[in-house]
Amino acid sequence: MKNYIILSLLILGNINQEYAKVTIIAGKLINVNKEVTLSFRQNFDIGSKYIKYGLSLKPDSTFVIKFELQQAQAGRICNEFIFCEPGDSVFVTIKGNGPFPDLHFENGHAPQYNFFIELDKFKEKRNLSSFLINDFPNSLEKLPNYKRVLNARYTEMEVYLNNYVKKYKCTPIFKNYAYAQIHYEYLSLLILKYLKLQNSVPPPPSYFFGVTPTSITNDKYLLSPNYFQAIFKYTINLFVKNKQNDPSDKQIDYVFNFIRHTYKGLTRDVVLAEAFEYYFNKKDHSNFNKLLAFYNQSPKWYVHKNFYTVLYPLYLQCASYNFPLNTDSLTNIERIDGLTSPISELVKANAGKILYIDFWASWCSPCNDEMPYSFKLQNEYKLKNFQSIYLSIDKDSLAWKKSFIKLNMDTTRSFLLSKGLQADISKKIVLKLIPRYILIGKDGKIIDPDAPRPSDSKLKTVLNILINDQK
């Protein structure tokens, strides 16, 4: 049996589609009766994010995977690292059912695909793996000797890489990737080992053999996830810990200014993105205004503007995470009869219900296109502790009232948002475009600041989960 799967990958860069080349991974399964997973880095944006493709194949079947690449791309197949270049065509044999089945590649750039498999064998033979995992100093006094041994172990691996590249005539871009995977794993390990012994005190620069931020950064290593993760750990733990006694807002100032003025090119973009992700995930609202200011300035700093967009959903989550609307007395809403009240009263009146708030305007065509789906959704879920609320940001109240009558809207669920985009809630959820939808939990707090549209089938999936969780 053969399975032909065409995968279209989005690769970061401004390379024209005409330069994309079809890349093929064919193969066969031997004694494998579980899903085979192929994954690729989504971009070198934030973290080690991967796009995953699960291939449900029958035992002992053969397969052909075709996809287009515009540039070399790091990935994994069955948890093994692989490195694909545009136009590659290789054949892989996959044996066994364990978490790490045996893989062997043939044809084309097969030696490059086999490298990390062979490196693992080399590490086992030289007893490197157990040393890296188990041998750990229990005091700072023993750390220098451990560091010397660790350096020697990684030097062995780098020598192995150089000999391998020479023997199999591997490409320069592959060598850069493999070197970065090895070298920056070493740097990360140095940091982690130190922190386990002395978490509160930053390591002295001499601990890293005099390594400086500029000496360890090179955009040619960006295809390696180990590279930018190590750079970020190095930045935070070596330099930021020196400022640990400063107020947290001062630390944020220091971090972003240090990154901006220390690193260059795409490396700076990636480390900035890592820093935003790091602080957004802290959900520290006392410093959110500071983060907001840096985030709004960041398009001026980035070489690749898409980083700003990539981070936007995370930014929204941080901006409104657990923001309680049932205590928001600053945002006023106007009824059709002209009376106004705080939005907190509306939320309290619907306590115990899931609220789906629709920010719209009479002049917004996409907003009006969604209305039939929204009304249908309300009817379908009205007996399940669900309520749709419509907040218009119209500046012209007469235009809103005309749309209100035309759409036959409910007076208890449709309101004019006083101050529109300048309202307190608009600022909290960073309302810039409409239509925009947010989900409010039964406790009156925002649980999704950028919910799916009514026409999106994902919304019902989310609602069903929320409703079942509240039973």
Ranges of each domain in the chain: 2-108, 130-320, 325-469
Burial category of 302 from C-beta neighbours within 10 Å (exposed 0-12, middle 13-18, buried 19 and up): middle
Vertex 152: Cα angle to 148 and 155 (nearest 5): 135
Q: Are 316 and 348 in contact (CB under 8 A)?
A: no
Q: Distances from the Cα of 293 to the Cαs of 208, 239, 326, 400, 427, in angstroms? A: 33, 22, 27, 33, 13
Q: Helices (H) and strands (E) in the chain — how many of each?
A: 14, 16
Structure tokens at 109: 């750039």
Q: Are 229 and 188 in contact (CB under 8 A)?
A: yes
Q: Are 258 and 294 in contact (CB under 8 A)?
A: no
Single out the residue of 95, 66, 206 nearest to residue 147, CA to CA.
206
pTM of the predicted structure, to 2 decimals:
0.62
Task: Identify the DSSP state of 13.
Answer: S
Q: Are 36 and 94 in contact (CB under 8 A)?
A: yes
Q: What is the pLDDT along the chain (471 residues), one digit of tens a residue?
A: 333 333 333 333 333 334 457 888 888 888 876 666 777 654 444 333 445 555 556 667 788 888 777 778 888 887 788 888 888 999 999 888 766 788 999 998 999 999 999 998 888 887 766 555 555 566 666 677 777 777 888 888 899 999 999 999 999 999 999 998 888 887 777 777 766 666 556 566 566 655 666 677 788 887 787 787 788 777 776 655 555 556 566 778 888 888 888 888 778 877 887 788 777 777 665 666 677 777 777 777 666 656 666 666 666 666 655 566 766 666 888 999 888 888 888 888 888 889 999 999 999 999 999 999 999 999 999 888 899 999 999 999 899 999 999 999 988 899 999 888 888 888 777 788 899 998 888 877 777 778 889 999 888 888 888 877 655
Structure tokens at 115: 């490298």
Domain range 2-108, its CATH number among 1.10.490, 3.40.50, 2.60.40, 3.30.1540: 2.60.40
Alpha helices in 75-203 (DSSP H): 110-125, 128-134, 143-168, 172-197
* Residue given tokens 């820093």 in the structure block: 275
Domain range 325-469, its CATH number among 1.50.10.10, 3.30.390.30, 3.40.50.10860, 3.40.30.10: 3.40.30.10
Residues 67 and 82: their CA atoms lie apart, in Å, by: 15
